[in-house]
Amino acid sequence: MTLVLGIESSCDETAAALVDGDGGIVAQRIASQDEAHAPYGGVVPEIAARAHAERLAPMIETVLADANIALNDCDAIAATAGPGLIGGVMVGLVTAKALAMASDVPLIAINHLEGHALSPRLADRSLQFPYALLLVSGGHCQILRVDGVGQYRRLATTIDDALGEAFDKTAKILGLGFPGGPAVERLAKDGDANAVLLPRPMLKSHEPHFSFAGLKSAVLRAWESGEHGVADITASFQQAAIDCLLDRLRVSLTRMDDLPTLVVAGGVAANASVRTALEAFASERGMAFTAPPPALCTDNAAMIAWAGIERLTSPDFAPAPLDLAARPRWPLDPDAEAVRGAGVKA
Ligand code: KG4
Ligand code: ZN
């Protein structure tokens, strides 16, 4: 059976995984760098790259040993080649190139966003194209139409912060540590989502794009007013974020109303309240709903290996050349029009 080694190093998770052609995760390891970045309240690129450089090679060795597999038993080596923090991406990609060269196994360069976009098909092998995808992570917040491997049309993106970034900034304001998403979710459980009046940026706008900078600023004002506790602020923030997601999806789906399934992926998709709200939203519209298990939502190498399998089994497959450059920016939909203010997050 097809077997692909996946390597992920685009942000602050160092990860390696072996996945088979049926979507079986044969072995996987993941090391988070939370402790290294926590004192700074966010990911420090230089620290991340150094940590990947120290951890990745022994981790790959361990994953192969866990599965009792030699490198040249693999049909391909799939590595994230962008987008992301360039130092980390280079560590993963150069490691993959060296392994590919030494073992004569083909190299596949994976777009990290494609890893997220196809992860629901790894988790649910019955999920067919096409589907509507909400991709919500620390670096991206997009709504896409997914028609097949490599066939992505972006309908919406953020004009400022990504949603995961808004969770992280909210956590930072409230002194909840890093990464912020899981802490915000935990505290929100004890709060009243209606306690703090927060804005829903872009609400009812005919353009489908997102904006979260104003929400984050409102969280800061609410906290500094001293009138609200942490639980109420996190619950109100989370509800405002969910309202934005549903409103923006409503607009996007009018532009792709033929799709049977709504899919969510990316780190924020690990949030149970977000998942529940999306599931109810999909059901109201008569759409099926799929979300990968939380461990496949946040960064991992199984989704990169899986994207490698999807690529390897595509009719137009060609291995990546060994001089392929890492890409700090790499849009899933290169034809998507530029959005005012979207800058580096497009
Ligand atoms: O996909 P991911 O692991 O990395 C990127 O590609 O960016 O996403 C990380 C983001 C972080 O902003 C983190 O705070 C957020 O996902 N996140 C969550 C939760 N778990 C992770 N946000 C809300 N609730 C969660 N449970
Ligand atoms: Zn990611």
Residue 164: its H or E element: helix 163-173
With a 6 Å cutoff on the Cβ, whether 115 touches ligand 1 is no
Mean pLDDT throughout 280-302? 98
Report yes or no: 63 and 69 within 8 Å, Cβ to Cβ: no
Rounded CA separation 96/82 (Å): 13
- pLDDT above 70 for 343: no
- pLDDT above 60 for 345: no
Distance 137 CA to ligand 1 centre (A): 5
**CATH class of the domain defined by 129-294:** alpha beta
**What confidence category does residue 344 fall into, taking pLDDT thresholds of 50, 70 and 90?**
very low
Extract the tokens encoding 19: 């996945």
Q: 193: helix, coil or strand?
A: coil
Q: Whose CA is nearest to atom 21 of ligand 1?
A: 267
**What confidence category does residue 341 fall into, taking pLDDT thresholds of 50, 70 and 90?**
low
Q: Whose CA is nearest to atom 8 of ligand 1?
A: 267
**Mean of the per-residue pLDDT values for the chain?**
96
- pLDDT above 70 for 228: yes
With a 6 Å cutoff on the Cβ, whether 265 touches ligand 1 is no
- pLDDT above 60 for 107: yes
Q: Whose CA is nearest to atom 19 of ligand 1?
A: 181
Extract the tokens encoding 174: 């409230």
Taking CA 311 as the corner, what is the angle to CA 310 and CA 313, rounded to the nearest 5 degrees? Answer: 70
Report yes or no: 287 and 261 within 8 Å, Cβ to Cβ: yes
**What confidence category does residue 41 fall into, taking pLDDT thresholds of 50, 70 and 90?**
confident
Closest CA to 6 of 85, 135, 109, 103: 109
Domain 3-117+296-312: assigned CATH number: 3.30.420.40
Rounded CA separation 345/64 (Å): 35
Closest CA to 309 of 76, 28, 64: 76
Ligand 1 atom with minimal separation from the 297 CA: 1
Per domain, the residue ranges of the chain are: 3-117+296-312, 129-294
Ligand 1 atom with minimal separation from the 266 CA: 1
Ligand 1 atom with minimal separation from the 13 CA: 3
Residue 110: its H or E element: strand 107-111
Cβ neighbour number for residue 228 with a 10 Å cutoff: 17
Pocket test for ligand 1, best of 268, 304, 332 (most atoms within 8 A of CB): 268
Rounded CA separation 261/290 (Å): 7
**What confidence category does residue 42 fall into, taking pLDDT thresholds of 50, 70 and 90?**
confident
Task: Say if 3-117+296-312 and 129-294 have the same CATH topology.
Answer: yes
* Ligand index nearest the alpha carbon of residue 136: 1
Extract the tokens encoding 197: 């009046």
Ligand 1 atom with minimal separation from the 299 CA: 3
